Structure 1
Amino acid sequence: MKYFYTLLLFLAATHLYSQQNITGIIIDQDTNHPIEFATVYIPKLEKGTTTNQEGGFTLKGIPLGTQNIIVSIVGYQTASQNIILPLNTPLTMALKPSAIEMEEVIISTPFHKLQSENVMKVERANIKALQQQGAMNLSEGLSTIAGVESVSTGVSIGKPVIRGLSSNRVLVYAQGIRLENQQFGDEHGLGISDAGIESVEVIKGPASLLYGSDALGGVLYLNPERYASRNSSASNIEGKYFSNTKGYSTNAGYKSSGENLKFLFRGSLAEHSDYNTEDYRVTNTRFREQDFKAGIGYQNDGFKTDFRYNVNHSKLGIPEEIGEQSTNRAPLLPYQDLTNHIFSLKSTSFFKNSRLDYTFGYTYNDRKEFEEHHEHDDHSAEEQHQDDAYDHTEKESVLDPALYMKLKTANYDIKYNLPRTETIETIVGIQGMNQTNKNYGEEQLIPDATINDFGVLATSHIHFNAADLQLGVRFDTRDIKVNSGIHKSYNSFNGSVGVKTNLTENTVVRLNMASGFRAPNLAELTSNGSHEGTNRYEIGNSELQNEQNIQADLTLEYGSKHFEFFVNGFYNTINNYIYLTPNGTLINNDPVFLYLQEDASLYGGEIGFHLHPHPIHWLHLESSFETVTGKQDNGAYLPLIPANSLTNKIRVEFKNNQVSKGYAFVKLKSTFKQNNTSAFETTTDSYNLLSAGFGGEFIVFNTTCGVSLSGSNLTNKTYFNHLSRLKSDGIFNMGRSFNLGLTFIL
């Protein structure tokens, strides 16, 4: 290990090749006129600049070899071009006018390309755009992406669902490392704030080739806030008010970049009282969340590194029944107290026409749950005070957590990008994880255990004249040691193959097949007790096997200057699908549920369009439909499958002398009746939710001020979402809410 770190330091400090400056000009393809303020960017180097009045630009200190240049600006299609340095003449790139939004580089796939160049279909959404639609938190915002939903407990707790799969079957990446915070449970959320997150990428389907176990159902890849442009600084303050919960969220950040060194930090605070329906407030859905993110990066001509840190502390009320009707924000008993620390170090060493990427991460998850019967016996005075009025500070001082777990995870990801030929790009790599779980409370949800992962992979992107082919193979092993004596090992080979081709100039088809796997988690292997969050007695099964799946995806996309259309279809077969089922008996008045396995399949997809009517370029008409069906081979339906839904939206964009980046929208989401339910679910009726909003940026006293106003569930509809964990208690989802946001860019 000592020699390994010495090698990394040597790679970071040594320039093994020469550099060159790139000069060029960006022009309009139709008129040949120069384009000012276009962004010219090299993704793998994270170097960029903007064009001047003559459309010219210069990028300094670029390594020799093949480089990919991305050029983007509003009103034009994003352009991508590979060049081989050294160049003998200045570079000229022509952009094609388009009213469709700019493309961004996809980070979650191995070759970091524009979506139009990717073989695999990846959805990308800007977090700010999700917030403008009135999302109260990250999980709610993610559920507006086609094919993504959320298993929710109130508004504070949400677990992402991708095409019917959730919990340990969906892997979340933050700061370039896997987020580990007891994903097996659907009674707690992501433990990460949307403040300081720039965008999210969604891989809908098995991604075990890239990420290993737990990516059987897909990946949510959260891209952190970017640093300031070179030799510049920026800061902003943002605040939001939410009428339904009488809550607020606020955050402030500052970032600055020099020639080589850059840093940023952002802090945020959110507090909400119980959410309101037409008839009542839902007791103890209140919560408080504090979040801090920081980063420091360094880059020279042959090396770049980025260290990020995030700490998130939240106190989340756990609703049980309708009781106290108030707008207090301090959670009642029972509640969760969660602290999540994420450390990550992402580095790259550049060589002539190749590079080495190495990422190291560490997460520390501290989870406590407090309940009434775990108070000390010597605090009668405090008990009397609590009967009169709940005082959270004093309450916490006399409580011990009923459940107290510490989860510590260290991981590494090392990939070498082989020298690229004219037609082939290849990456080989290794990944690994060490994880320990330790209990300190009276109750045990899962036992003390140690998990070790190791995986090795290789993947290639092959460019042909008429098509692009991507393929790869991977081997993984997982070792689980439980302190009670259980010792299990799981192994799996996985692969993927995909092809992308243009049927016409504007029509693209993608066909992908990939396998994935998931090793059983500790809860499935070892549970033997009442699960307070779900009111059932769960019994694990130490003989469970790997879940193994194969999914086929077919995507057809059409895109012209004013119209986009897409159809995504998938079929997913899962061998040894792990599920809970009641056996008809009771223990401690709780129904007994067993973990069993059965082959299963899921199928469905998404279809939609995006229209810019000519010549009304400021008008956007968008529509999407999504459907998924999940069944076991024995004919029983899988649990927690989202209902079919149709979303229609009208959006306008505008600017004038007073307003820049102006927008307004009206959206109607129609969710259909869910009749395909598992043995312990009930059907859910259909409903329609209407929302609308507008906003823009103004200049006030030489300061840019952003204003947004949105309303959700404007008709104050009383309804149940099929994935709400409060539905079984007859508790409605949130009613009408108006959200006001203010941002000052300093």
Structure 2
Amino acid sequence: MNKNPPRTSARALRLSPLSLALVAALAHAQSDNVRPAGNATQAPGGSLAPVFVTANPLGDTDLIAPATALYGDALTRRQTNSLGETLNGLPGVSTTTYGPMVGRPIIRGMDGDRIRILQNGVAAWDASSLSYDHAVPQEPLTIERVEIVRGPAALLYGGNAIGGVVNTIDNRIPREPINGLTGGVDASYGGANDARAGAAQVEGGNGQFAFHVDAFDRETSKERIPGFAHSERQRALDGPDTSEAYGSLPNSDGRWHGGALGGAYTWADGYAGLSYNGYEANYGSVAEDDVRLRMHQDHAAFASEVRNLRGPFSQLKFDVGYTDYEHKEIDNGETSTTFRNHGYEARIEARHRKMGPLEGALGVQLSQNTFSALGDEALVPTTQTTNVALFGLEEWNVTDALKLSAGARYEHVKQQPAATGNGKFASARERDFNAASASLGALYKLTPLWSVAGNAAYTERAPALYELYANGPHDATGQYLIGNPDAQKEKALSSDLSLRFASGPNKGSVGVFYSRFKNYLTEFNTGRLVDDADQLVAPGTDGALNEAVYRGVRAEFYGVELDGKWRVLQKGAHRVDVELGGDYTHARNMDNDQPLPRIAPLRATLAVDYGYGPFGARAQLEHAWGQHRVPENDLPTASYTKLGVLLTYAFRVGATNWLAYLRGDNLTNQDIRYASSVVRDIAPEGGRSVMAGLRTRF
């Protein structure tokens, strides 16, 4: 096993938490005129105000789409090692897991190529949708705001947003003028697995030119777990003579680090700027004791917005990102497979002037990326994917109480596999798809406090490259995957309906959703056990894989989502809020009435939030029922109840704001195995842990 961290690249900034603090202190010593970083519309603490930019290019605050935004203290108290775990538990959102460093968001039971993960509105290419052991190369500590759009309203971002969109937003390209210097530092330590994390940022400007610098570093030892790594059911299958890990999860340690540089020119009616960020990681595969994954990503971006234009369009917005991504799977010190993904995505949105009762925006999106998996265990051929799309959204405020919306998108997708000398991909051929999507939405205010919102959409998704061309071992899932080169477009009719309430600090929403798919592309086990060359082997053979093929079926998803917050006490400086959340997703293959795999069970969360001046306390109880609706060859998961507590204290030292916090997770030391995790029976979530942290803004 190779436990040496990767050598520092000159392209990625690397600082320890102590160095991060020194950077911030030096910047503070030079600063005479400080202000919160980022957008001019600020929430308390310098966080972006709740204007959604992902679901609607018109910048509405009252969205028809079911959407959630995390920023400020709400984001701080949820931040963990991965993007998926940070968002896990929000309405309709669960996570894949492959150890403590790996987690990709799942929305309403859909994952992989059906969920678009964006960075400031455009793709940052990686390999996380291809395999569950591939991390999302984004550090939660550097994110200012996360927007999650669930369901059909996400169609403006393409067919591969058929389940939803997760857009992370930062201020690496400053969008508003900055005068003087400002910045911040976050540092934390968790004793359970010796987890150390830190991030620092500095921003400055003269009112026209602005710059941004940030750096982050995160490292963790092996994760401590409440008992055996393998579940009771899995141990029964392992046999009595198998050596079983206990108390810690083998090969679950890891480290990542990186940073960013950015700058912009700002003026009264817009901005234009560039940024670069680098990211490196080295972490273990919890399914294979001798396998490490080394990852590197470079991402460069240009963004600009011009407002108050003359002519038919009043506002133009440009976003372009280029990514160069690589990761290597190191088996016993030798590189077995190298994954590369590089390409660009460009998006232009133009908001037009009001035409009669209609307000809206039109846009063009272009992208091209080349993905390759090279080595003895290559799963797919080198493939170039090109996407050209037109989209638009229109809104009509019919009355003060009724708002209607209509959106459409048309895209052309081309998949071009290349001859790489690997004979098993010799028959892969070029495929072209034309995909169309359309949606309708309505928001009706029943009273000043109550409203109802509904959406309906028809969406088409072109098959992903691995659904077409896969032909190789996939050790992350224990399968030998075979694509369907004749696969057709995935088509879905989706709808959702929600009842909402908002009155000062009190707010709530309860909603239902339904999606019906034609040609839903999923994996089917053939019943054959094969080796890495797809040759039949006997049961019990070491390294035997389940052969699986991609096939289109009819499928349906439906469920309910609940989210609410109530101020139950406001007396002087004392306040108490009670929060309640929950969700349930039911998903089945309509051709054989079998459950679809990796669907989170019914979940409910109760939290009590107390504040008194600078002091804060929060207790959260989450219960997940057992998931017994699993495919024939899967094992069910047991229920669990997880308790978490967060204590905070805010204070000032001179002109600097500080927040000290102490967070306890899974305090009842439950054996937690997410039904959405492909390694749930060999790698549980972490046991009882306590983390102390300090955050400063100046």
TM-score range, shorter chain: 0.7 to 0.9
SS at match of 1:618: strand
Q: Could you say if the C-alpha distance between residues 446 and 152 of structure 1 is closer, same or farther in structure 2, counting changes exceeding 3 Å?
A: same
**Off by >4 Å, runs of 4+ in structure 1:** 70-74, 226-229
Deviation at 1:242, TM superposition (A): 1.1
Correspondence for 2:251 among 281, 284, 289: 284
Deviation at 1:444, TM superposition (A): 1.1
SS at match of 2:353: coil
The answer for the alignment partner of 2:136 in structure 1 is 190
Find out whether 1:509 has 2:452 as its counterpart. yes
Q: Could you say if the C-alpha distance between residues 463 and 71 of structure 1 is closer, same or farther in structure 2, counting changes exceeding 3 Å?
A: farther
Correspondence for 2:625 among 661, 672, 676: 672
Q: Could you say if the C-alpha distance between residues 268 and 103 of structure 1 is closer, same or farther in structure 2, counting changes exceeding 3 Å?
A: closer
1:608 alignment partner AA: D
Once residues 700 and 103 of structure 1 are traced to their aligned partners in structure 2, the CA distance between those partners, rounded to angstroms, is: 25
Q: TM-score, normalised by structure 2?
A: 0.84
The answer for the alignment partner of 1:26 in structure 2 is none
2:69 alignment partner AA: R
Correspondence for 2:198 among 231, 234, 250: 250
**8 Å contact 1:207–1:215 — kept in the other structure?**
no
Map 1:217-236 onto structure 2 (within 5 A). Answer: 217-225=163-171, 227=174, 230-236=178-184
Deviation at 1:691, TM superposition (A): 0.6
Deviation at 1:421, TM superposition (A): 4.9
Correspondence for 2:74 among 123, 129, 142: 129
Correspondence for 2:383 among 449, 463, 486: 449
Deviation at 1:654, TM superposition (A): 2.5
Correspondence for 1:535 among 475, 478, 488: 478
**8 Å contact 2:562–2:581 — kept in the other structure?**
yes
**Greater RCO between the two (CA within 8 Å, min separation 6)?**
2
SS at match of 1:157: coil
Deviation at 1:229, TM superposition (A): 5.7
**8 Å contact 1:548–1:574 — kept in the other structure?**
yes
1:216 alignment partner AA: I
**8 Å contact 1:403–1:444 — kept in the other structure?**
yes
**8 Å contact 1:208–1:214 — kept in the other structure?**
no
Correspondence for 2:185 among 237, 243, 246: 237
The answer for the alignment partner of 2:560 in structure 1 is 605
Correspondence for 1:496 among 435, 439, 444: 439
The percent of aligned pairs where both chains have the same amino acid is 22
Find out whether 1:365 has 2:325 as its counterpart. yes
Find out whether 1:695 has 2:695 as its counterpart. no
Deviation at 1:697, TM superposition (A): 1.8
Find out whether 1:620 has 2:577 as its counterpart. yes
Find out whether 1:158 has 2:103 as its counterpart. yes
Deviation at 1:703, TM superposition (A): 4.0
Q: Could you say if the C-alpha distance between residues 184 and 135 of structure 1 is closer, same or farther in structure 2, counting changes exceeding 3 Å?
A: same
Deviation at 1:127, TM superposition (A): 6.1
SS at match of 2:140: coil
Q: Could you say if the C-alpha distance between residues 438 and 614 of structure 1 is closer, same or farther in structure 2, counting changes exceeding 3 Å?
A: closer
Once residues 42 and 83 of structure 2 are traced to their aligned partners in structure 1, the CA distance between those partners, rounded to angstroms, is: 30
Q: Could you say if the C-alpha distance between residues 526 and 72 of structure 1 is closer, same or farther in structure 2, counting changes exceeding 3 Å?
A: closer
The answer for the alignment partner of 1:12 in structure 2 is none
Map 1:337-486 onto structure 2 (within 5 A). Answer: 337-350=294-307, 351-352=309-310, 354-372=314-332, 399-421=333-355, 423-465=357-399, 466-484=401-419, 485-486=428-429
Once residues 138 and 537 of structure 1 are traced to their aligned partners in structure 2, the CA distance between those partners, rounded to angstroms, is: 28
Q: Could you say if the C-alpha distance between residues 714 and 534 of structure 1 is closer, same or farther in structure 2, counting changes exceeding 3 Å?
A: same
2:437 alignment partner AA: N
Moved more, 435-444 or 404-413: 435-444
Gaps (5+ residues) in structure 1?
1-38, 49-69, 75-100, 322-331, 373-398
Q: Could you say if the C-alpha distance between residues 317 and 415 of structure 1 is closer, same or farther in structure 2, counting changes exceeding 3 Å?
A: same
**8 Å contact 1:176–1:346 — kept in the other structure?**
no
**8 Å contact 2:107–2:163 — kept in the other structure?**
yes
Q: CA RMSD in A?
A: 2.4
Deviation at 1:437, TM superposition (A): 2.0
Correspondence for 2:590 among 601, 621, 633: 633
Correspondence for 1:146 among 91, 110, 119: 91
Larger radius of gyration: 1
The answer for the alignment partner of 2:152 in structure 1 is 206
1:442 alignment partner AA: D
Once residues 744 and 73 of structure 1 are traced to their aligned partners in structure 2, the CA distance between those partners, rounded to angstroms, is: 14
**8 Å contact 1:669–1:689 — kept in the other structure?**
yes
**8 Å contact 2:159–2:437 — kept in the other structure?**
no
The answer for the alignment partner of 1:706 in structure 2 is 659
SS at match of 1:524: helix
**8 Å contact 1:208–1:515 — kept in the other structure?**
no
2:275 alignment partner AA: R
Q: Could you say if the C-alpha distance between residues 103 and 438 of structure 1 is closer, same or farther in structure 2, counting changes exceeding 3 Å?
A: closer
Deviation per CA, 1:354-399, whole angstroms, max 9, x where unpaired? 1222222111111111112xxxxxxxxxxxxxxxxxxxxxxxxxx4
**8 Å contact 1:196–1:225 — kept in the other structure?**
no
1:318 alignment partner AA: S
**8 Å contact 2:102–2:133 — kept in the other structure?**
yes
The answer for the alignment partner of 1:326 in structure 2 is none
Deviation per CA, 1:215-254, whole angstroms, max 9, x where unpaired? 1110001111374863132122221101221110011110
Deviation at 1:695, TM superposition (A): 0.8
Once residues 702 and 259 of structure 1 are traced to their aligned partners in structure 2, the CA distance between those partners, rounded to angstroms, is: 21
The answer for the alignment partner of 1:560 in structure 2 is 503
Find out whether 1:109 has 2:64 as its counterpart. no
SS at match of 1:367: strand
SS at match of 2:141: coil
1:286 alignment partner AA: D
Deviation per CA, 1:396-430, whole angstroms, max 9, x where unpaired? xxx44211122111121112211235732121121
Moved more, 636-645 or 178-187: 178-187
Q: Could you say if the C-alpha distance between residues 672 and 127 of structure 1 is closer, same or farther in structure 2, counting changes exceeding 3 Å?
A: farther
SS at match of 2:318: strand
**8 Å contact 1:175–1:344 — kept in the other structure?**
no
SS at match of 1:622: strand
Once residues 127 and 71 of structure 1 are traced to their aligned partners in structure 2, the CA distance between those partners, rounded to angstroms, is: 10
1:369 alignment partner AA: E
Once residues 429 and 337 of structure 1 are traced to their aligned partners in structure 2, the CA distance between those partners, rounded to angstroms, is: 37
Correspondence for 2:606 among 648, 651, 668: 648
